Chains A and B, each alone.
Chain A
Amino acid sequence: MRYRLRAGSFAWMIQRISGVALTIYIFFHLYYLSSLRDPVKFELLRKLLDDPFVKFGEAGLLLLVIAHSFNGIRLILLDMGVPTRMQKTLFFIAALTGGIIFFIGSWPILGGIL
């Protein structure tokens, strides 16, 4: 079913994919936190966090969170009555501010390896 991809439908796809990915992440997050009591496992996990691939994963996670929340704010504003003609503008504002915050936020994570 091919149709032109526009700001609105692109935002919806991103929201859906990031939403599913983040919910799956909750599972892994709680799983590895539940092994905190075991000192051996804890040490293993702590070491894992220094791995550059895991760091890229963390940055990716941040990107998902930012994309989902900024588009979420956009959707809530539109639900609250911001007129339709603003939806594209809001999309670009969300993408821009989200991008800047991702850059700032991922620096402490990736700064060591880049």
Chain B
Amino acid sequence: MKTYNFKIKRFNPSEESSPQWQEFSVQMDPMERLLDGLIKIKDNSDGTLTFRRSCAHGICGSCAMKINGKNGLACQTLIKNMPERITIEPLAAYPVIKDLVVDMTQFFMKSEEVLPYLINAETPPERERLQSKDEQQKILESITCIMCGSCTSSCPTYWSDKEYLGPAALLKAYRFIFDSRDRAFDERLGRIIHAQGLWRCHSIYNCVEACPKEIDITGHITELKRLAVKNFFKRNK
């Protein structure tokens, strides 16, 4: 067992006017995760500490937070890889509800804008709509997104411009634009090539470094940019 210092940014907007830092000393086993530390604090030191967690296995994306200045999942952060002093903040750019819990309504609205569902009016086959291995490979990485919000919260453009779709929504757009079973190509492209879409991405790569699923988000967005340009010249020929 080793003692770790958790410095947590706490804020209750309904009762306080500004966030405050609070420190906790926690005994941690090297096999434990950061999330275990937060649970220990809530159980033993301060029951009012508020954070989200559901699956605790890196699948649901609930426990995304800023850990030592970098966005990530608390359940996926192993304590043995951490320094003794750990600073924890809520995800930036989303309004804080309480402590580490943020309001992600805007974030999910961005995904709504790019139609995050399969559009195909053709009569469905008796069984599944099949894909070839290559067709699946094309979208495999983008499918692994768990919508934790780490990427969009790390994006400098999104910090200053909340109208920007953000990396998560653009990745979602990629996932359906390159899906061989989808039939709404023009509609989808139209929803990401406006001024607050693709072109607000300046290849900063914060999202790639933040993504707990290690998705090359910027690479996917860049591919969409190239697709948009190619499509532009094809149409205007």
Contacts and interface: CB of A to CB of B under 8 A. Distances in A.
A9 B204 contact: yes
A83 B156 CA distance: 21
Nearest to A9: B204
Nearest to B205: A8
Contact of A79 (B205, B206, B209, B222): B222
Contacts of A42: none
Given A9-B156, A12-B156, A81-B226, A3 B219 contact: no
Nearest to B160: A1
B70 interface: yes
B24 interface: no
Interface in A1-59: 1-4, 6-9, 11-12, 15
Nearest to A83: B219
Chain A contact-residue range equals 10 to 19
B219 A84 contact: yes
A2 B205 CA distance: 16
Interface string B147-181: 00000001010010000000000000000000000
B225 interface: yes
Contacts of B219: 83-84
Interface in B26-80: 66, 69-70
A1 B218 contact: no
A87 interface: yes
Contact of A12 (B66, B93, B154, B202): B202
A12 B222 CA distance: 16
Contact of B93 (A1, A6, A7, A75): A1
Contacts of A79: 203, 222, 225-226
A53 to B, nearest CB: 33
B203 A6 contact: no
Contacts of A110: none
